[in-house]
Structure 1
Amino acid sequence: MTRFIQELVVILCLLCELILARNNFDVSPEAFQILATEVEKLSKLVEHQNGVINELQDKFKYQEIVNSELKDRLNQQERIIEELSAKLEKQYQQNKTQNSISTGPKTASKNSSSQYSSDQFKDAKHVRQGITRKRQSLSTTVAFFATITQRFEANLGIHQNLIFEDVLTNIGNGYNNHHGVFIVPVSGIYLLTSSLLSRPGEEYFAELVINGTPIARLNGRGVNGRHGTGTQTAIVFLNKGDDVAIQNYNQVDNFWGEKYSSFGGVLLQEYEANSVPSVVG
């Protein structure tokens, strides 16, 4: 049972006692109204928490879809390489047969062509075997997820890391909850996600940064005394040793904790360092 639900139960019990007490004692309407207002606020906070949980579940479902698509693309590339390899092998065998029955000056040319086809076939075979070995060896799993449990992070300076100190998942030991930094343990394609809640009636600006460079921003603004939520998801290639963090973007900002604000990531596909091509647009 979460802290909010526990508080809600306590308030409801007190409310019931007040209702019973009003039959025998004179309880001011103002005090009764204040208690009823607090119960309503706690109920809305619980509803908001359920909404945040649903958002995270949707994000992880999307992550599974992306992972499946990447696997399908890799399988398609393997099939293309196998087809090309088979064609090269067939051409090599044809050239070898022709060379065995031919004579004269053309022999040297055919031998050269045969040697070229043979080299192409060997290169394609090595590429295919390399991809297969890489896929078989990819048993590495990297995933982390952490939240802010204290009531709020207050008065953060510009470019200061948010510290998500409550670590729920840290497979690969890449996340440091003392500095709020994820140090990439293996190179590959990662899905990164963050959700931040503002203090009531306040606005914040934050950034998802890699090696100190911002790649995406978050914004949340609470109105009428309510909280505001900002979320961000990114799919990026990271090299081993890169550092990732969520930083404050304004001079002084405040962020609400109590597990409403979170930071996480997961390795979708491992690659060798600097082996993924740049984005083509």
Structure 2
Amino acid sequence: MVYFTNRLLLVFVLVNLIPSSKSILNDSDVEGRMDFLQSSMDRMEHRILTLTKTVNKLSKRKKDEHVMFYATLSSDTVLNINSIVKFNEIQFDEGADFNSGDGVFVSPVSGVFMFSWTTLTYSGKSIDTELRVDNIVKAKQIISLGSSAGSIQSTQFVICRVNEKDHVWIQTGAGFTTENFFDHLFKGSKSSFMGILIHVI
């Protein structure tokens, strides 16, 4: 309805812009005016379409340039082998691409990312973790503490290419230990997972 109304308004404006004649219009005059009106409307529609595409492209570029998340564990967690670590406290998520329910990040774009995860555990415990991109291991991290080590945290960084719609997560390894003890908090330190888009490909 709005589009139809706009076309009528455009026709009205264009008709009034065309010099009027006191003489009786013949068929060729009418056809000439109609051709002029149609040509003017076509040009106007093309400009509107071009402007709309430009705005959409700029909006998408702005979203693409700001992809990042940071999540932590809310409680002590013990996991068996091959288990996804569900970082269920979202501290920051630009773009809402990290799912705190399953601990998985879904990339909205193809690009180069930096990922980092921190594991915190305590005396006599072990943690074996790995970063996976669409189920392919990109990096690993192992902590194994002695009986009097106290609480220790370790952080691993990785830079890798991720395709649009790829799933990225942290999970426990397959063989180092069957009991991975994650301490969620020690003097302000937490087990965590983060990712930042470096640039779009």
TM-score of the pair, normalised by structure 1:
0.45
Q: What secondary structure is seen at the aligned counterpart in 2 of 1:138?
A: helix
Residues 1:222 and 1:135: Cα distance change in structure 2 (over 3 Å): farther
- Structure 2 residue 152 is the aligned partner of structure 1 residue 222: no
Contact map agreement 1:146 1:165 (CA 8 A) in 2: yes
Residue of structure 2 in register with 1:63 after alignment: none
Q: Which amino acid aligns with 2:154?
A: G
1:1-281 map, 5 Å: 138-139=61-62, 140=64, 141-150=66-75, 152-154=76-78, 156-223=79-146, 224-249=148-173, 250-258=177-185, 260-271=190-201
Q: Is the 8 A contact 2:119 2:127 kept in 1?
A: no
Question: Once the 2 structures are TM-superposed, how far is the Cα of residue 252 of structure 1 from its aligned partner?
Answer: 2.3
Tell me how far 1:202 sits from its aligned partner: 1.1
Offset at residue 135 of structure 1 (A): 9.9
Q: Aligned-pair distance for 1:229?
A: 2.2
Higher relative contact order, chain-length normalized (CA < 8 Å, sep 6+)? 2
Structure 1: any 5+ residue segments left out of the alignment? 1-133, 272-281
8 Å CA contact 1:190, 1:238 repeated in 2: yes
Aligned to 2:35: none
Give the corresponding residue for 1:91: none
The code of the aligned residue for 2:111 comes to G
8 Å contact kept, 2:126–2:179: no
Note closer, same or farther for the CA distance 1:181–1:245 as it changes in structure 2 (3 Å cut). Answer: same
Give CA deviations for 1:155-212 in whole Å, capped at 9, x if unaligned.
x121111111110111111100010111111111111011101133212111111111
Name the TM-score, length of structure 2 as normaliser.
0.63
Give the percent of matched residue pairs that are identical in Structure 1 and Structure 2: 26
For 1:167, give the aligned amino acid. Answer: I
SS across alignment from 1:162:
coil
Structure having the larger proportion of residues in helix? 1
Deviations 1:72-103 (A, max 9, x none): xxxxxxxxxxxxxxxxxxxxxxxxxxxxxxxx
Q: Identify which range, 176-185 or 247-256, moves more after superposition.
A: 247-256
Instruction: Report the residue type matching 2:160 in the other structure.
Output: V
**Number of residue pairs the alignment of both structures matches:** 136
Q: Give the superposed CA RMSD.
A: 2.0
Relative distance call for 1:167 and 1:137 in structure 2 (3 A) is closer
Post-superposition shift, 1:251?
2.5
- Kindly indicate whether the alpha-carbon contact (under 8 Å) linking 1:138 and 1:270 is maintained by their aligned counterparts in 2: no
Structure 2 alignment gaps of length 5 or more: 1-56
